[in-house]
Structure 1
Amino acid sequence: MAVKVAVTGFAGRMGRALAEALAQSGQADLAAAIVRPGSSLVGADAGEVTGTGRLGLAVVDSLDAAEFDVLIDFSAPAATLANTEYCARHGKPIVIGTTGFTPEDKEALLANAARVPLCLASNFSTGVNLCFNLLETAARVMGQEADIEIVEAHHRHKVDAPSGTALSMGEVVAETLGRDLAQVAVYGREGQTGARERDTIGFATVRGGDVVGEHSVMFLADGERVEISHRASSRLSFARGALRAALWLLGEDQQGDREPGHYDMRDVLGLKVS
């Protein structure tokens, strides 16, 4: 029996990509398509909204109107907090791809992991999560002798900067080097900035066009440079990863056997080194 997946933020770019990924999946079905309250899409056929073909499933504006096994949430911080609390109350696993949380938001969000399995990731693509492991290695080998800069680019509609993925990359590097990213991050430069301090980690942001997502981390040493980059050409890579995470949270027998806790995509992919 196919897993019933609910998708919030259904009217957005990732909601549409998730609908396509679910249409291609042989393991899961779209069980609920959820948009913000008051949206003009409420009541429309979910398949016609995304162009995947009529499904006979009406778009709704509340989780109370949904029946599902697992929720995938790519919406906005306030909505995601409310949705996570709902899932915790009802014992439903949740996959979270929303970014832009404040530290207080994230603390409140993760408090729910004591009650349900929760997968929170800044990026669900296989390639990006492989890059996290490569960054650990590069930071361990070169980090003390190199200047480290992170450059990211996204489409003109992205509202947060730097991207959640860029920040996660910075956190991986900083933690490997024993640094506190909040203390060493430099977000953009202008004017007479003075010489670069070796322990800092620089971030540069590009916004424009329809760029799906590009990230590069540079380790710049005297005489050589190592660059670890990832470029996404389709949101389907993120959607398929989020669906993979949703199935993983349900356990191998898809009966909710995964223990409550905070997981990320590297747990799902088995990339964490103990």
Structure 2
Amino acid sequence: MTVLNIAVAGASGRMGRMLIEAVLNADDLKLAGALDAPGSAAVGTDPGAFLGKATGVKIESDLARGLAGVDVLIDFTRPEGTLKHIEYCAAHGVKVVIGTTGFEQPGRDAIAAAAQKTAIMAAPNMSVGVNVTLKLLEMAAKNFAEGYDIEIIEAHHRFKVDAPSGTALKMGEVIAGALGKNLDDVAVYAREGVTGERDPSSIGFATVRGGDIIGDHTVLFAGIGERIEISHKSSSRVSYAMGSLRAARFLGGKQTGLYDMQDVLGFR
């Protein structure tokens, strides 16, 4: 059995710890590195300490030390940190699973450029359930192309810093693509005051932030006399961690290229 050496970025964060626990529980993966921001109190500590486990690894802020001997980095941090990580990874042959959201176009371009030098799997949501939902949305959009208004409602915890969520935007992109449209041309992200009648060609977004909501997404297809709702609700980050490990295994057989969870799940 081939064992992949995995590093986790943001090792002291909520998602980072979930990933570390998942890697330590996997027979075919080895925790070989852990990263955190310079100045973090976690730097220099064992990433398994919160589980009462000694991993033989230390959390590093220096990329050369934290990624030495690593096959795949899993990164759920912030765009500015992820972009620094992929620059290093592309130069040193480390593959990357990116779960970070909130990239502007220059960041997306940088990821695409890095994927010419190493293998990258980037997706706004690693959950297998969410990615199956995306396929359902593609099918639904093709059948509700006329006479149905499309609204995407998402809810997350109070600490999330970007809106709409990357998952909501991906849902919009999938729906727009199924309709032969570009999301940038039809998206409506805010409504206030006298807005006039709804443009039937638009895709609306609504954002909720509060409490400890892990992530809820609902797409509403509202017609005359009926409405169809397709929803996905996360009750734990475990599904994101399991999907990330599946993505890391997928990258184990790749050298270069940019992929997403649809590739990992064999939907393409």
Q: Into which bin does the TM-score normalised by the smaller protein fall? A: over 0.9
How many residue pairs were aligned?
Answer: 265
Contact 1:20-1:52 within 8 A present in 2 as well: no
Q: Which residue of 1 aligns with 2:256?
A: 260
SS of the aligned residue for 1:173 comes to helix
In 1, Cα distance between equivalents of 2:155 and 2:267: 25
In 2, Cα distance between equivalents of 1:202 and 1:101: 20
Amino acid at match of 1:15: G
Superposition RMSD on alpha carbons, in Å? 1.1
Contact 2:9-2:76 within 8 A present in 1 as well: yes
Contact 1:70-1:94 within 8 A present in 2 as well: yes
In 2, Cα distance between equivalents of 1:57 and 1:180: 45
SS of the aligned residue for 1:71 comes to strand
Contact 2:4-2:252 within 8 A present in 1 as well: no
CA drift of 1:77 comes to 0.7
Q: 1:204 aligns with which of 185, 189, 206?
A: 206
In 2, Cα distance between equivalents of 1:115 and 1:129: 26
In 1, Cα distance between equivalents of 2:25 and 2:134: 28
Amino acid at match of 2:23: L
CA drift of 1:52 comes to 5.2
Q: Which residue of 2 aligns with 1:63?
A: 63
Amino acid at match of 2:256: P
Q: Which residue of 2 aligns with 1:255?
A: none
CA drift of 1:214 comes to 0.5
Q: Which residue of 2 aligns with 1:22?
A: 23
In 2, Cα distance between equivalents of 1:39 and 1:249: 29
In 2, Cα distance between equivalents of 1:228 and 1:53: 41
Q: Percent identity?
A: 52
Q: Which residue of 2 aligns with 1:85?
A: 87
In 1, Cα distance between equivalents of 2:235 and 2:36: 25
Q: Which residue of 2 aligns with 1:120?
A: 122
Contact 1:7-1:73 within 8 A present in 2 as well: yes
Q: Which residue of 2 aligns with 1:271?
A: 267
Amino acid at match of 1:208: G
In 1, Cα distance between equivalents of 2:32 and 2:169: 33
Q: Which residue of 2 aligns with 1:181?
A: 183
Q: What per-residue deviation string (whole Å, max 9, x for no partner) do you get for residues 10-60 of structure 1?
A: 121110110121122111021111100111111112111x33523232211
- In structure 2, list runs of 5 or more residues that go unmatched: none
SS of the aligned residue for 1:46 comes to coil
Amino acid at match of 1:267: D
Amino acid at match of 2:58: A
Q: Which residue of 1 aligns with 2:152?
A: 150
In 2, Cα distance between equivalents of 1:202 and 1:11: 36
In 2, Cα distance between equivalents of 1:108 and 1:189: 32
- In structure 1, list runs of 5 or more residues that go unmatched: 252-257
In 2, Cα distance between equivalents of 1:214 and 1:80: 24
Q: 2:238 aligns with which of 231, 236, 258?
A: 236
Q: What per-residue deviation string (whole Å, max 9, x for no partner) do you get for residues 148-184 of structure 1?
A: 0000000110000000000000000011111121121
Amino acid at match of 1:202: G
In 1, Cα distance between equivalents of 2:263 and 2:144: 26
In 1, Cα distance between equivalents of 2:91 and 2:101: 23
Q: Which residue of 1 aligns with 2:169?
A: 167
Q: Which residue of 1 aligns with 2:77?
A: 75
2:218 pairs with 1:216: yes
In 2, Cα distance between equivalents of 1:142 and 1:153: 24
Superposed, which structure 2 residues align to 1:239-250 within 5 Å? 239-250=241-252
Amino acid at match of 1:246: A
Contact 1:17-1:235 within 8 A present in 2 as well: yes
Amino acid at match of 2:147: E
In 2, Cα distance between equivalents of 1:108 and 1:132: 25
Q: What per-residue deviation string (whole Å, max 9, x for no partner) do you get for residues 90-138 of structure 1?
A: 1111110110100111112211111111100000000000011001100
Which 4+ runs in 1 deviate beyond 3 A? none
Amino acid at match of 2:37: R
